[in-house]
Amino acid sequence: MNIILIGDPVAHSRSPAMQNAAFAHLGLDLRYAAVHTPLADLSARVAALRAPDYLGANVTLPHKQAVIPLLDALEPEAARIGAVNTIYKDARGALVGANTDAPGLIADLRDGGIDLAGRSALLLGASGAARAAAFALAGGGLARLTIANRSLARAVDLAADLRTHPTTSQPTIQAIALDDPDLPAIIAAADLLINATSLGWQADETPLPNPPVAPHALVYDMVYRETRLLREAAARGARTRNGAGMLVRQGALALTRWTGHAAPIEIMWAAFRAEE
């Protein structure tokens, strides 16, 4: 049986090593492979998952929103977020979309001892990954959430969606552009800064050069390696954390949906680190 990672690009992904190590440990005859999928090929790629030799897929940039109309059903949280990163088959063989990014992020923040209650967060980005982060953070007890994006319209749309689906601990929500003159003051006041953009895979890329973060702040980059953003934040005395834990946690939740097995987290971590 096959499970694939759908995205563009995918060559950098450590998910195949991580998932295949977990399947081998569990004694499952499953194979996980990264399949480069441009947008023009997305519909055909998802349709291929209906074949009996496919169990499901992960979905990464830039398809987490575009994949939704191609599926048969969504888990309630994925529908609320408006982004899918995991596809599995139900008992009837229908393709169901799930979002394991949001709980994966919260689990990793908790692993890092991060308490969101009453805090102020700045989220960079408004894509599928950012949507998962925004909904996860909004439900985590924050007092204030600011969404900053190159396209102000997309940040405004995400903020509106958050207000449409309020949580029991709904924070004050603000949307701004990355070139907003108020951004430096917002950065300085933030307890948590999260990069949910793809900028960071290249060594010199950053969505926010030399961010004026406070020494007490945590700067979290979903890119799962050390990045320029994290280096520059650390130079200002801030705590930093990359997205490795989020990748492992979301992957573990996806594995359980595909197989019904509890994920061997330590095996997945070991496989992830072996790729470094």
Which residues does the annotation mark as catalytic?
64
Give the span between the Cα atoms of 269 and 260, in whole angstroms: 20
Record the tokens describing residue 183, joined without a space. 């951004």
**Which string of b and e fits 79-103 if b means at least 16 CB within 10 Å?**
ebbbbbbbbbbeeeeebbbbbbbbb
